[in-house]
Amino acid sequence: MATEVILPKVDMDMATGTIAKWYVESGATVKKGQAIFDIETDKSAMEIESPADGVIMLGDAQVGAVVPIGSVVAMIYGAGEVPKAAVPSPFSPREKVADRPDEGLAASPNAQTGSVASPSSALRTPSPNGGRGTNEDANSGSRATPLARRLARQKGISLSAIKGTGPHGRIVAEDVANARTASSVAAPSNAMESQAVRAMYAEGSYEVKPLDGMRRTIAQRLTQSKQTVPHFYLSATCTIDQLIAVRSRLNAHGGDAYKLSINDFIIKAMAQALQQVPDANVTFTDEGILHHRASDVGVAVSVEGGLFTPVIRSAESKSLKRISSEMKDLASRAKARKLQPADYQGGSAAISNLGMFGVESFTAIINPPQATILAIGAAVERFIPVNKQPVLATQMEVTLSCDHRAVDGAVGARLLQAFQRLIEDPALMLVESVKFDNAP
Amino acid sequence: MANATKSKSATGPNARPFYAKHNKPQLRDALRRMWLIRRFEEVAEESYVRGLTHGTMHLSIGQEASAVGICMDLTNADYITSTHRGHGHCIGKGAEVKYMFAEFFGKEEGYCRGRGGSMHIADPATGNLGANGIVGGGLPLATGAALAIQLRKGKDVAVCFFGDGANNEGAFHESLNMAAVWNLPVIYVCENNQYGMSVSTERSTAVKDIATRASAYNMPGVIVNGNSIADVSEAMMVATERARNGGGPSLIECKTYRTRGHSRSDRNRYRTKDEIEDWKTRDPIPAFEEELEKFGVLSADEISVVREEVEKEVNDGFIFAQGGTNPVPESVLRDVYTGAA
Amino acid sequence: MSGRELSYAQAVQEAMSQAMEADHRVFIMGEDIGVYGGAFGVTGDMVQRFGPDRVRDTPISELGGAGVAVGAAMAGARPIYEFQFSDFASLAMEQIVNQAAKMRYMLGGKISVPIVFRMPCGSGTGAAAQHSQSLEAWFAHIPGLKVVEPATPEDAKGLLLAALDDPDPVMVFEHKLLYKVKGHVPEAPYRTPIGKAAIRREGKDATLIAAGIMAPKALEAATILAGEDIDIEVIDLRTIRPLDTKAIFDSVKKTTRLAIAYEGVKSFGIGAEISAAVAEDEAFDYLDAPIMRLGGVESPIPYSPILEKAAVPQVDDIVAGLRALVKKRF
């Protein structure tokens, strides 16, 4: 059984401590009682001894980092145990919490409510007598009773999202039951109970497909979005003949190297528009508006049973070819449910394109924490007046949804305008930070 | 002459009770059984060294007179318990060699359906409560069988075969004491072959003769030449009479010898070849055949016929057993309990 | 429902008397069971009613005596052998374990050994280490034996009559402190089925399994805990081998928490077997807490009354244990 090395409480009123110095490196053999690191508290430094014999693997707590007491800072593996290469500590920025296959949420958007804080299960209270044993190391997840596991599995809840109230942070059935009701905080009290719903349909006239993790998450988050984000919508009609021509010309040179889609241009245009209207490249939080530096643009990808919105990071600085290949990769991984959280977390805006289905226009629901989402409609041929003469043009309607807490009407309008100009004249995308003569 | 049931010279005034009391068929059967034991043990040994049997075995070659002499007058209602060296006792009590071979080969046709093996051969239907793997294990059991007989006011007896090794077990002393206190119809037959496993009685037992211990328990104890069937049988007749008529228990010590080792793995380091060879000259079977011929009970030809019959029976039994049914693994739990497991 | 009350000892005697009246093959042997009436007074005046042959004093020879009983059983009798203290069964292990338990199996089913061994067990009388043990687990480990442990006078009679009907060897453990306990005992003969537990108290917060003296202690603890709104289901095993696993699993699935209270030493005891059986069954996925064993301490039973009490689970220990179990402190 691997032994946890925790940052101990050494002073009475101590809540955190700092590792001042490591005496050993990962892979070193240590003996029980041997000094392995110095801990610095408000009062003074103190040598901390190894709790067991074995091979020690350090976590990534940096020297000097402030660590809550009880955190696991290293693991000691005994004879016959295989040391795990990395021991993530509880405060590393990107916690891969949803990797466990049996958690049921392998590839869904961040199950935690948007924060990057660590799950509580990694902050385990130490068991000084070792009585209950560390039957799971810090990496592989939570301590939970068999009943709690089964209930969580049935309900598609990740154990890592649940705080355990049992001894040693153990998750018990009660915690799973409570977690369910907490995460359905978005489920309003006037949502119909499933029994009541079923009662409205004749027996045998329907088939029940149980909710999987993805469906549940979509239901939860989009309900939350609709209820808490003040949406408003702005539409514009873009003439895309030039876009079509440019695409065609570029693809003629593409060969095997690239094949650009309309969507690739749309992503780039949106990214650049966000750079041109930085006030729209934002996220609302209670403590302040985050003004993002890069344009991380999410793109809705439909998969069987649901959808994902993988993000193209810093899309403003990427070539069309690169955007295109990244999208292809993300889309295929999305369909295979092999996306990592890093692929879909965050982002400042999103694009959703239903034009391929013939939808002329629609309004999309914002994915928090993003502040906008652009809904793209189908390309339609129609006659438009140019110099008072009817000219055949191809047009596509786009509708921008905005989070009014962070993006006001005029800001949204300027974003939309910037996008329109770039998509109607794609050559403008070659110029960085093109300034337009627009009224505030 | 072979046509009289009792030969004239056998019933002469010098005839001993063994020959006076037993008729020709009985005597013939006694010889047959001795040969059956001998040939069975030899073939069993052969099959063991060829790797055909599992586990180990404890042969009683040389002790046939004791086994047959004690058992020949018992009925199916009389009980015997035996030792780990019990093949002879089982055959003496009427066991058929083909079912014994089958047991050695672990077949369903064996006396214990392959579950017991050499050390646990039994046939409760004929009063044979079985060989026993624990030295001294059968002493209390035979005593208990005798108690059951007494409680139902029967006339049957229980016979306990045990070896010189067992006479130092607590169970021996406790059993003999109780048998005497309660006056039970049990006959304790000690086959003293002078060695426990490797330790001689001289080195292990405080008294020279085990029969001496009988007096400590207030019961008669006699010593007989275990290699003379007549000696053994006559002592048994007396003891059985006593027991059946409420006279209580007795102990018969048969001085004998096993020419083979304790078991197949015995290297015989604890005794000399001379000693073994010396006892081979006192083989109980030729001695009995000699007497039978001398007293005119059986002719040499008739004796040959006995040997041939035995040979056939042993061979047929061996073949029967080889063609037996192997138990299926799923039956491993059968008969742990009576009725549903 | 009440009415006829007998003590546990009287109930045992009644069972034996009724069995002996009905079947001439039944008899009892043991030390000081005749005129003396038995060390715990269980046989009482039976020797006067049935005579010294059928209520038979033995010399002090546990191995020989038990073996004689086994041999008698093999030869058609139906003996009851009384060990004066269960600790003395250790002297007879050879005949119980190597002979009685295995005879049927070794002989391919050709014989049965219908013997009953009865013995007083357990601590609390100051009899100290060699006269106070709880060795049920030893015998429960042997295929071929059955082990029962009645907790009430009613079950003492019913289980003993069932044991006497049983064609296989049965070990009957009677806790010394139960002999004087009174309870309802129907007069006409009846059998309590071997292998069936009894739910003495229904509950929903935790399952508490006990046998023998622990059953009344468990009920007492449950009553105390009910006052704290903790609702305990108490199962009286009645039979140790074979375990009524169905009753155990059904209860665990209902309450999601399990504790086992027993006087035998905690390690390698009946608590271990029950815990493992539950952990292997689908009942495992219903457990919302680790399984708690409340067993005897890892020492021989001491003489001093303070230490003697401290050596085995008392009502307080059971209460504290179940409280921690239900309140998520275990």
Tens digits of per-residue pLDDT, B153-208? 999 999 999 999 999 999 999 999 999 999 999 999 999 988 777 778 888 899 99
Question: Mean pLDDT across the stretch C183-199?
Answer: 98
Question: Mean pLDDT across the stretch A293-317?
Answer: 91
Q: Are residues C29 and C162 in the same domain?
A: yes
- Give C207's strand partners: C233, C258
In a domain, C330, yes or no: no
Pick from A146, A165, A167: CB nearest C330: A167
Contact A394, A241 (CB under 8 A): yes
Q: Are residues C163 and C26 in the same domain?
A: yes
Contact B117, B110 (CB under 8 A): no
Higher per-residue pLDDT: A120 or C293: C293
> Which band of pLDDT confidence, cut at 50, 70 and 90, is reported for residue B263?
confident
Its domain, for residue C234, covers 198-325
**CB atoms near residue A156 (< 10 Å):** 20
Q: Total domain count for chain C?
A: 2
Lowest mean pLDDT among A142-146, B16-20, B293-297: A142-146
> Which band of pLDDT confidence, cut at 50, 70 and 90, is reported for residue B258?
confident
Count chain B–chain C contacts defined by CB atoms under 8 A. Answer: 158
pLDDT at A437 over 90: no
How much is the pLDDT for B178? Answer: 98
Question: Mean pLDDT across the stretch B316-334?
Answer: 94
Contact A50, A77 (CB under 8 A): no
Rounded Cα–Cα distance for residues B31 and B19 (Å): 13
Pick from C58, C70, C167: CB nearest B178: C58
Pick from C24, C95, C105: CB nearest B335: C105
> Which band of pLDDT confidence, cut at 50, 70 and 90, is reported for residue A10?
low
> Which band of pLDDT confidence, cut at 50, 70 and 90, is reported for residue A42?
low
Residues of chain A found within 8 Å of residue C328, distances taken between Cβ atoms: 165-167, 170, 172
> Which of B168, B174, B183, B188 best probes binding to C when mutated, by most C CB atoms within 10 angstroms?
B174
Q: Are residues C178 and C202 in the same domain?
A: no
Residues of chain C found within 8 Å of residue A165, distances taken between Cβ atoms: 328
Out of C184, C208, C225, pick the residue that ends a domain.
C184
Across all residues in chain B, what is the average pLDDT? 91
Contact C240, C140 (CB under 8 A): yes
Which residue matches tokens 């006339």? B155
The yes-or-no reply on B/A contact (3 CB pairs or more, < 8 Å) is no
Helices (H), chain C: 8-22, 46-50, 62-74, 93, 101-106, 136-140, 153-165, 214-226, 245-255, 270-280, 305-310, 315-326
Does the CB of C328 have a partner CB in chain A at under 8 Å?
Answer: yes
Residue type, A63: V
Lowest mean pLDDT among A3-7, A168-172, C18-22: A3-7
Residues of chain C found within 8 Å of residue B174, distances taken between Cβ atoms: 59, 61, 63-65, 67
As a whole number of Å, the CA-based R_g of chain A is 27
Query: In angstroms, what separates the C-alpha of B14 from chain C's closest C-alpha?
Result: 41
Share of chain A above pLDDT 70, in %: 79
In a domain, C230, yes or no: yes
Q: How far are the Cα atoms of B227, B294, B302, C25, C179 from residue B31, in angstroms, in the given order?
A: 13, 14, 11, 39, 61
CATH code assigned at C303: 3.40.50.920
Q: Are residues C126 and C150 in the same domain?
A: yes
Contact A258, A321 (CB under 8 A): yes
Q: At what angle do helices B170-182 and C62-74 cross, to 10 degrees?
A: 70
Residues of chain B found within 8 Å of residue C167, distances taken between Cβ atoms: 338-339
How much is the pLDDT for A209? Answer: 85
Every domain of chain B and the residues it spans: 29-322
How much is the pLDDT for C50? Answer: 98
In a domain, C311, yes or no: yes
Q: Are residues C104 and C176 in the same domain?
A: yes
* Closest residue on chain C to A144 (Cα): C288
Which residue matches tokens 């197949």? B264
Higher per-residue pLDDT: C33 or A127: C33
Contact C196, C223 (CB under 8 A): no
Does the CB of C289 have a partner CB in chain A at under 8 Å?
Answer: yes
The string of pLDDT tens digits covering residues B280-318 is 788 999 999 999 999 999 999 999 999 999 999 999 999
Q: Which of C62, C136, C174, C308 is catalytic?
A: C62
Secondary structure class of C182 (helix, strand, coil): strand
> Which of C23, C74, C78, C243 best probes binding to B when mutated, by most B CB atoms within 10 angstroms?
C74
Q: Are residues C81 and C48 in the same domain?
A: yes
How much is the pLDDT for A331? Answer: 92
* Closest residue on chain C to B108 (Cα): C108
How much is the pLDDT for A368? Answer: 87
Question: Mean pLDDT across the stretch A86-109?
Answer: 40
Rounded Cα–Cα distance for residues B144 and B174 (Å): 12
Higher per-residue pLDDT: C111 or A16: C111
**Residue B213 class from Cβ within 10 Å (0-12 exposed, 13-18 middle, 19+ buried)?**
buried
Residues of chain B found within 8 Å of residue C88, distances taken between Cβ atoms: none
How much is the pLDDT for B207? Answer: 94
Fold held by B29-322? Rossmann fold (3.40.50)
- The answer to whether A404 is a known catalytic residue is yes
pLDDT at B340 over 50: yes
In a domain, C193, yes or no: no
Does the CB of C228 have a partner CB in chain A at under 8 Å?
Answer: no
Q: Which of A168, A231, A292, A404 is catalytic?
A: A404
Residues of chain A found within 8 Å of residue C289, distances taken between Cβ atoms: 145, 166, 172
User: What interface predicted TM-score (ipTM) does this complex get?
Assistant: 0.90
Q: Are residues C41 and C178 in the same domain?
A: yes
How much is the pLDDT for A66? Answer: 81
CB contact under 8 A, C167 and B335: no
Residue type, A5: V
How much is the pLDDT for A9? Answer: 65
CATH code assigned at C66: 3.40.50.970
How much is the pLDDT for C261? Answer: 98
Q: Are residues C122 and C83 in the same domain?
A: yes
Q: Are residues C245 and C173 in the same domain?
A: no
Q: At what angle do helices C270-280 and C245-255 cross, to 10 degrees?
A: 70
Highest mean pLDDT of the ranges A134-143, A161-170, C224-233: C224-233
pLDDT at C13 over 80: yes
> What does the block give as tokens for C117?
């061994």
Contact partners for chain B, using 3 or more CB pairs closer than 8 A, are C
How much is the pLDDT for A388? Answer: 93
Does the CB of C288 have a partner CB in chain A at under 8 Å?
Answer: yes
> Which band of pLDDT confidence, cut at 50, 70 and 90, is reported for residue A11?
low
Residues of chain C found within 8 Å of residue A148, distances taken between Cβ atoms: 288
How much is the pLDDT for A374? Answer: 97
Question: Mean pLDDT across the stretch C166-193?
Answer: 98
Residue type, A173: A
Share of chain C above pLDDT 70, in %: 99
CB contact under 8 A, B140 and C168: no
Chain C residues with CB within 8 Å of chain B CB: 24-25, 27, 53-54, 56, 58-59, 61, 63-77, 79, 94-95, 98-99, 103-112, 143-144, 146, 167-168
Out of C159, C184, C209, pick the residue that ends a domain.
C184
Residue B77: name the closest of B154, B186, B182, B184 by CA.
B154
Contact B29, B23 (CB under 8 A): no
Lowest mean pLDDT among A15-24, A105-114, A338-347, A387-396: A105-114
Question: Mean pLDDT across the stretch C168-182?
Answer: 98
Rounded Cα–Cα distance for residues C301 and C40 (Å): 20
Q: Are residues C277 and C319 in the same domain?
A: yes
> Which band of pLDDT confidence, cut at 50, 70 and 90, is reported for residue A238?
very high
Lowest mean pLDDT among A183-197, B276-290, C39-53, C196-210: A183-197
CB contact under 8 A, C287 and A145: yes
Across all residues in chain A, what is the average pLDDT? 80
Q: Are residues C44 and C73 in the same domain?
A: yes
Higher per-residue pLDDT: A188 or C169: C169
The string of pLDDT tens digits covering residues A245-259 is 999 999 999 888 999
In a domain, C286, yes or no: yes
Q: At what angle do helices A241-252 and A409-424 cross, to 10 degrees?
A: 50
In a domain, C101, yes or no: yes
**Contact residues, B window 115-154, toward C, CB-based 8 Å cutoff:** 115-116, 120, 122-125, 129-130, 132-134, 137, 139-152
The whole-model pTM stands at: 0.66
| A35-40 and A3-6 beta bridge pairing | unpaired
The string of pLDDT tens digits covering residues C113-131 is 999 999 999 999 999 999 9
> Which band of pLDDT confidence, cut at 50, 70 and 90, is reported for residue C216?
very high
Pick from B123, B142, B337: CB nearest C71: B142
The string of pLDDT tens digits covering residues A343-397 is 888 899 999 999 999 999 999 999 988 999 999 999 999 999 999 999 999 999 9
> What does the block give as tokens for A239?
């003439």
> What does the block give as tokens for C169?
């060897």
Contact partners for chain A, using 3 or more CB pairs closer than 8 A, are C
Does the CB of C112 have a partner CB in chain A at under 8 Å?
Answer: no
> What does the block give as tokens for B225?
């030449």
Residue A160: name the closest of A132, A134, A136 by CA.
A136
